[in-house]
A = this chain, B = another copy of it.
Amino acid sequence: MNVQQIGEDKLIRRLKRLVPGRADVISGIGDDCAVVRTGRRDPYDLLLKSDPVVEGIHFTPDAKGSAIGHKALGRVMSDLAAMGGEPLWILVDLVSPPTASVARIEAIYKGMSKLAHRYGAAIVGGDTSCGPVLEVHVFAVGRIARGKALLRSGARLGDILYVTGALGGSGMGHHLRFEPRLVEGQWLRKSGLVTAMMDVSDGLATDLRRLSAASGIGAVLDVAQIPVSAAARRLSGRRSGLDHALADGEDFELLFTVPCRKSRAFEAAWHKAFRLSCTRIGEMTAKSGMVELRDGKLVEELTRHGYEHFDHHLQ
C-alpha cells in the first residue's frame, strides 16, 4: 500500500502507534498542536506545531514570496490560535531549488517576519537546504495558561457549534491572505465559555468530523446558517456555494463549541468584542462520529463523499 492509497488520517494513526511518549506530554499527535508541560511551577504549558507549504500543493509557482511566507507562518499560527495560545518562537526550514533568486527567498522571510512581528513572535533559527521545489516548513512554540489549552475533545452533547468568518472559495485568494485568528482564539480561551476548538483547514465537513470523533459524539449543521463566503458564491456552478463552504478547506477560521445555556451570553460578548462575524451553525448530538446536515425537518448524513439530496435542494 502506498501513501496516496492509505490517506493522511490513517497514515498518521499508524505512525502514532510507533512513536515514544513522555509523562510531560499533555496532548500528543492528533490535535491542532501538541501540548507539553515544562516544570511543576511554570504557569504556562507549551504548544508545539509544525506545518509545511509546498510549491504545487499549497501555492503555485507564480505566488508572491511575501504571500508564501505569510501563508507558511499563518497556517501554524492558526493552529496555535485554535488552542487559545500565543506564539513565542519560530524556526523555519526552507527547501529551495538552487536557481531560486535570493530576492524571492528574502520576500518569503519578509512575509513571515511581518506576521511574526504583528503577534510578538521571534524567528530564532532553522535551516536552508536545496531541493527540487520550494518548500517552507514552519515550526512554532507557543504558550497557553497551564491546563487551559482548548482541545478538540472537549465538546459535550447539546453544545452549540460556532464558526468565525465565512467559509469556502479560499483558493480565490484568501488562502494566501488570511489573518490567523490569534486574538479571537485567546479571547475565546479567556472567556471560559468554550468547551472544544479547532481551526478549519481541511474544510468544515472534514474538520467537524474530526472534532466530533475526538469528543466521542456527533454534530448536526443547519444548512441555512453556514456562512458561505462571497468567493464561494462566485465559484458556485457545477458545485454549490454550500459545497465549497463545506469542502474547500484553507479557511483558517475557528470552529468551536459553547454549552447551550451559555450561548446567548457568549454571543452578546462576542459581538461587543469583535466586528468579525461568528455564526451559530449547529449543535453537538448523541450520534457518535456522525455529522449531519439539517434544513428544517430534513436531516441527512454528511458522508465522506458529500451529501446526496441537499446539493440539489440548494441549487
| A interface residues with partner B (beta carbon < 8 Å) | 1-4, 6, 8, 11-12, 14-15, 18-22, 24-25, 28-29, 33-34, 36, 38-39, 41-44, 46, 48-52, 54, 57, 88-89, 91-93, 95-103, 105-106, 109-110, 112-113, 116-117, 120-133, 135, 137, 139, 141, 143
Judging by beta carbons under 8 Å apart, are B91 and A139 in contact?
A: yes
Chain B residue at minimal CB-CB distance from A9: B128
Chain B proximity of A137: nearest CB distance (Å): 5
Query: Which residues of chain B are within 8 angstroms of A120 by Cβ–Cβ distance?
Result: 22
Give 19 A-B pairs besides A3-B102, A41-B41, A139-B139 with Cβ atoms closer than 8 angstroms.
A11-B105, A19-B109, A19-B122, A22-B88, A28-B123, A38-B42, A38-B143, A48-B124, A48-B125, A50-B50, A50-B91, A50-B92, A50-B125, A52-B129, A52-B137, A54-B129, A54-B131, A95-B135, A131-B135
Chain B proximity of A284: nearest CB distance (Å): 25
Query: Which residues of chain B are within 8 angstroms of A95 by Cβ–Cβ distance?
Result: 52, 54, 135
Could you say which of B29, B44, B132, B143 contacts A132, with CB atoms under 8 Å apart?
B132
Query: Which residues of chain B are within 8 angstroms of A130 by Cβ–Cβ distance?
Result: 3-4, 54, 57
A12 and B25 alpha carbons, distance in the complex (Å): 33
Chain B residue at minimal CB-CB distance from A5: B102
A57 and B2 alpha carbons, distance in the complex (Å): 23
A124 and B46 alpha carbons, distance in the complex (Å): 12
Could you say which of B18, B44, B139 contacts A38, with CB atoms under 8 Å apart?
B44
Chain B residue at minimal CB-CB distance from A43: B39
Chain B proximity of A259: nearest CB distance (Å): 29
A189 and B2 alpha carbons, distance in the complex (Å): 45
Known: A102-B6, A116-B20, A137-B137. Is A89-B25 also a contact (CB below 8 A)? yes
Chain B proximity of A2: nearest CB distance (Å): 5
Judging by beta carbons under 8 Å apart, are B39 and A137 in contact?
A: no
A2 and B105 alpha carbons, distance in the complex (Å): 9
A12 and B127 alpha carbons, distance in the complex (Å): 8
Query: Which residues of chain B are within 8 angstroms of A123 by Cβ–Cβ distance?
Result: 19-20, 28-29
Chain B residue at minimal CB-CB distance from A38: B38
Chain B residue at minimal CB-CB distance from A69: B18
Chain B residue at minimal CB-CB distance from A26: B124
A48 and B91 alpha carbons, distance in the complex (Å): 8
A293 and B284 alpha carbons, distance in the complex (Å): 72
Judging by beta carbons under 8 Å apart, are A34 and B105 in contact?
A: no
Chain B proximity of A115: nearest CB distance (Å): 10
Judging by beta carbons under 8 Å apart, are A133 and B135 in contact?
A: no
